[in-house]
Structure 1
Amino acid sequence: MKREYVVLFLILANMFWAGNYIIGQYVVAEMSPLQMTFSRWLIALLFLYPIATWIERPSWKKVWRQWKVLLVMSLLGVMGYNLLLYKALQFTTPLNAALVNAINPAVIVLFAAVFLKEKISSINGLGLIISLLGVILVLTNGQLQQIFSVHYNFGDLLMLLAILVWTIYSILGRKIRDIPPISATAVSVSLGLLTLFPFVLFSDLNFHLSKEATLGILYIGIFPSVGSFIFWNISIRQIGASRAGIYLNLITVFTAIFSLLLGKPISSVQILGGVLVFVGVYLSNKVVKQAQETLDDGTRCISKNI
């Protein structure tokens, strides 16, 4: 495949994921985070099984034998992360959510070093500190002296919790490296929907959605959940997860562009915080071989949650 197509696929994948942040904030005004998460993956599931069968031709019995691990993965990455993301968007801006989320690859490296005893170099440590400083700038709106204040934006704090959930999910992802990714996602989504169904059944559901909200949830269920995932997996097979992972920074870039097009201002603090996060993540990703493999594992499955 020509490199131009790979780059195009990566750009489209990250643009669709950025749309999840922007459109998600509008849809969550009419649907609860629980209803959004359930609806999103129910729509995606209609596509995942046929696509997995067509592209990967898996042994479904072999995939389902891993149901225990896939259930945990589902509760963390497929369902847990999205519930926290959509809840966060009720309190913070899409750009802030994307900026905080951008630190995720660096956090994965840190957790790999702490819990998997993988080496982390001095430049990695510097990168983690710089990216953390960028997130703190965003969290405190540039008022670093308020770092110990209890008046943080609740949505930003929820995004930090979402990052923690996703990091644990990424580390656990190493246990299912022998399962095709689309097939694993299809089964994880199935288990997650079964888990969420009783809660959705007894929750306050809004069936009288506006046209905009209906189109929004269809977009989220098709483009970020299915389209991005297919483009992403095609790309990493061509250039590898490490090189493709650099393009994940485009999520924040596209989120900023979409915010500007919608007339939402971007502050100098957000710009400075974003630059620090990008620089820090770049440095933290200059890792030794073992740690890079862990980051790759997390990057391969990142499309399950964005």
Structure 2
Amino acid sequence: MHANLYALGAIALWGSLASLGISLAHLPPFLLTGIALVIGSVPAWPLLRQWRVRPATLALGIYGLFGYHFLLFIALRMAPAVEANLVNYLWPLFIVVLAPLFLPRLSLHAGHVAGALLGFGGAAIAILGGAGAGPSGSWSWGFLPALGAAFVWASYSLLTRRVPPFPTAAIGLFGLLSGLLSLACHALLEPRVAVSADDWVLLALMGLGPLGAAFFLWDRALKTGDARQIGVLSYLTPLASTGLLLLVTGRGLDWSIAAAAALIVGGAVLGTRTRERPGRARAA
């Protein structure tokens, strides 16, 4: 139960990311993410001694935090943003269906798959309906990095259970180095811009929330909970994100959000109530 609460905390913070991103849309994406990730690492700086992790663990952390955002930004540059974001939100489904592959002591049941598919259906309605547009139906090579981003986040989330145990405070190191790599990408790929005082306030909120505390909560959830259930719950992220974005932009909620909520909540209930059969082993 505690693990699901940690996951819901991360999901709630990620739900604010799109709204903050809209307010900071004038900043180049690598600059935005780089600054926010560095700020998000600051609360873990007093726990510097807990940042000592094995090289493979450090590589996994950078793979997850930097690799995910790098591929997502490439996708958003190459493909229509709405469809690319929908492809990106395959990551909760990937977490569910890949859990037995990455965590062999877990098995996959019909309830987990059905819950994940309901969640993805709800996410599609929320994202497409919230954007006020249906899918264009045209292929874009940008869908490949979006699919790669989904796989990176799902595999990172599951592989944190396969590496030697590490303190959650080490997420600060992952965020700091990933932020510095993002800033390096900004220096190489993006134009220089001035950051205003108002921008810094919003960057601090983004860094301390969806690109900071959310990663620490997510790590705690994955270390103590059932990855399949957490994956199904994760479809609340696009619902919360789209709903908040509609409210912030003054468009109000409509039928698509109600339908998405019904599917996602139904999928979450189905997925989280699916239990192991008696006698089946579960991951610690």
- Where structure 1 has 5 or more consecutive residues not aligned to the other structure, the ranges are 295-306
Closer, same or farther: CA 268–161 of 1 in aligned 2, 3 Å: farther
> What letter corresponds to residue 199 of structure 2 in structure 1?
A
Q: Partner residue of 1:18?
A: 15
- Where structure 2 has 5 or more consecutive residues not aligned to the other structure, the ranges are none
Quick one: which of 183, 194, 203 aligns to 1:217? Answer: 203
Judge which range, 37-46 or 10-19, deviates more: 10-19
Q: What is the distance in 1 between the residues matched to 2:191 and 2:135? A: 38
**Equivalences for 1:77-226 in 2 at 5 Å?**
77-84=64-71, 92=81, 104-114=91-101, 116=103, 118-137=106-125, 149-150=137-138, 160-183=147-170, 185-193=171-179, 195-226=181-212
Q: What is the distance in 1 between the residues matched to 2:124 and 2:218? A: 32
After superposition, the C-alpha distances for 1:154-187 in whole angstroms (9 at most, x for unaligned) are: 7x9876543222111112212335110122x123
Partner SS, residue 175 of structure 1: coil
Closer, same or farther: CA 273–205 of 1 in aligned 2, 3 Å: same
Percent identical pairs in the alignment equals 20
Closer, same or farther: CA 191–214 of 1 in aligned 2, 3 Å: closer
Q: Does 1:70 align with 2:62?
A: no
Note if contact 1:74-1:192 (Cα within 8 Å) is conserved in structure 2: yes
Q: Does 1:43 align with 2:39?
A: yes
Note if contact 2:39-2:204 (Cα within 8 Å) is conserved in structure 1: yes
Segments ≥4 residues shifted beyond 6 Å: 9-12, 87-90, 99-102, 289-292
Q: What is the distance in 2 between the residues matched to 1:292 and 1:197? A: 41
Deviation, 1:37, is 1.8
Quick one: which of 225, 234, 246 aligns to 1:241? Answer: 225
> What letter corresponds to residue 38 of structure 1 in structure 2?
G
Note if contact 1:45-1:186 (Cα within 8 Å) is conserved in structure 2: yes
Quick one: which of 255, 260, 263 aligns to 2:247? Answer: 260
Closer, same or farther: CA 221–140 of 1 in aligned 2, 3 Å: closer
| TM-score normalised by structure 2 residue count | 0.70
Closer, same or farther: CA 100–149 of 1 in aligned 2, 3 Å: closer
